[in-house]
Amino acid sequence: MIAAELVATGTELLIGRTVNTHAQRLGRALSPLGIALERETTLRDDRPAIAAAVRAALTRSQVVFVTGGLGPTCDDLTREALADALGRKIVRDTAALSRIRARCVRLGQSMTDSRARQADILEGAAALSNSVGAAPGQRIELGGGRVLLVLPGPPREFEAILAEHVLPWLRGHLHAPVAPERILMVCGLGESDVIERFAAAGFDPAPLDLAYCAGPGQLEVRLTGKPGEESVVTSAAARALAVLGDHVYAESREDLVAAVGRRLEARGATVATAESCTGGLVAQVLTSVPGSSAWYRGSIVAYANDAKTSLLGVPADLIAAHGAVSEPVARAMAEGARRALGTDFALATTGVAGPDGATPEKPVGLVWWALADAKGTVARTRRFPGDRDLIRRWTAQYALDLLRRRLDGTA
């Protein structure tokens, strides 16, 4: 493995304003390339401290990432700190400057000195164009095969330059032996459930490395072998797939909503949603997929009870008899949305997201969701753990998974 480290800059990372997600993103992206992220150092916007940390990192690691401090303001000091650390001059990149100028025209902003400063890079650096922001990234190749990779702090810009420029370059220029890996994306089971199922089936993935990455309502199960163990990993993955069955919704790293969209598109089917406790989240997740207008038609977010009646046709006496968080109301909401929006499928959610609104019979986290299609309506319930945000995210994922299973013929 090739050693890498990250120097993350930004006072906002150390005063409680922002969670630094770059180490996680880099760790995940570098491992398959045979590069090990060994250390992260987070610093305030302090020029001498940044320069010293970069110098120290270059003595330890072949690949050094520096993030943040490339913006237009006076607390953006990374360029100057790198000039100090490497003893190089700062130069203005003409291509980056043209892009920033064009961006200002497009956005109706004036081209100021502070904006122009974002085109500054180190002498000898390759500017890595930023497709979603102003400041370019930089790649600085140093003696002894060492490389310094400088990326903007905002996650979107960091991600764009990482994916478009840095990872392709690392793949082409560093030749570390790659560990074979297989991924199973799972919905409806947690880590402990997967471990229990593997144990019950007598499946022991050792000596392969088994790792998990859990998000609300989806779990990545990753099997990694040593370089050359391709066939061992392939047969272990087939065994794991057999054990986990229809809980697996994809065999590569893919969000559940993308897997659902792929299936709807292939079938030429349409979907609508009716939401209460999720308050638009299911719609927002579905429409986050580019091209979703091919299969998504709309949502009725009926947060107030009389909106459930007037917009979705849920009988008021049904709500009075069972309460808004109930199986009959979830079913009626799904059927109402399918009718109102004229789709093949409709999903509905209703639940107690908290922190208020709970009763002894209906505690915080209790949710019903339903799916209506031409064959009828199915409903599911669960009590989800966590706070308001987490309960809503769990609900959206389980609702999407019900649609995924219906499309796969397993629900």
- Of 230 and 306, nearer to a copy of itself (C-beta) is 306
DSSP for 157-186, please give it.
HHHHHIIIIIHHHHHHH--PPPPPEEEEEE
Closest alpha carbon to 404 in 269, 279, 288, 302: 269
Q: How far is CA 107 from CA 133, 156, 235, 366, in A?
A: 12, 18, 53, 45
- Whichever of 133 and 225 has its CB closer to a copy of itself, that residue is 133
What is the nearest approach in angstroms of a copy of itself to the Cβ of residue 360?
14
CB of 127 to a copy of itself, least distance (A): 19
- Shortest Å distance, C-beta 20 to a copy of itself: 7
In the 3-class helix/strand/coil scheme, how is 22-75 assigned residue by residue?
HHHHHHHHHHHHCEEEEEEEEECCCHHHHHHHHHHHHHHCCEEEEECCCCCCCC
Nearer to a copy of itself, 244 or 286 (CB): 286
236-240 long-range contacts, CB within 8 A, separation 24+: 236/182, 236/205, 236/208, 237/182, 237/184, 239/203, 240/184, 240/198, 240/203, 240/205
What gap in Å lies between CA 227 and CA 127, rounded to an integer? 33
Q: DSSP string covering 78-90, please?
A: HHHHHHHHHT--E
| Cα angle: 160, vertex 164, 168; to 5 degrees | 140
Closest to a copy of itself by CB, 14 or 167: 14
In the bound complex, what is the minimum distance in angstroms from residue 190's beta carbon to a copy of itself?
Answer: 8
72 or 328, CB closer to a copy of itself? 72
Pick the closer one to a copy of itself by CB: 163 or 408: 163
Nearer to a copy of itself, 234 or 284 (CB): 284
Minimum separation from the CB atom of position 143 to a copy of itself (A): 25
The whole-angstrom separation of Cα 90 and Cα 99 is 18
d(CA 186, CA 351): 23
Nearer to a copy of itself, 168 or 385 (CB): 385
Q: Cβ–Cβ contacts within 10 Å for residue 359, how many?
A: 11
Nearer to a copy of itself, 392 or 404 (CB): 392
Residue 286 CB, nearest approach to a copy of itself (Å): 7
Least CB distance to a copy of itself at residue 102 (A): 11
Gyration radius from the chain CA atoms: 25
Minimum CB–partner distance for residue 276 and a copy of itself (Å): 9
| Region of residue 62 (left: phi > 0; alpha: psi -120 to 50; beta: else) | alpha
Q: Which residues, at least 6 apart from 69, have a Cβ–Cβ distance to it below 8 Å? A: 9, 10, 45, 50, 75, 76, 77, 78, 79, 81, 153
* Residue 350: φ, ψ to 5°: -150, 130
Helical (H) or strand (E) element with 224: strand 218-224
Helix (H) or strand (E) holding 249: strand 248-250
For residue 185, the one-letter residue type is: M
Closest approach, Cβ 166 to a copy of itself, in A, equals 15
Smallest distance from a copy of itself to CB 124, Å? 28
Indicate the residue among 14 and 411 with the shorter CB distance to a copy of itself: 14
Nearer to a copy of itself, 110 or 252 (CB): 110
Write down the least CB distance from residue 235 to a copy of itself, Å. Answer: 21
In whole angstroms, give the CA distance from residue 343 to residue 340. 8
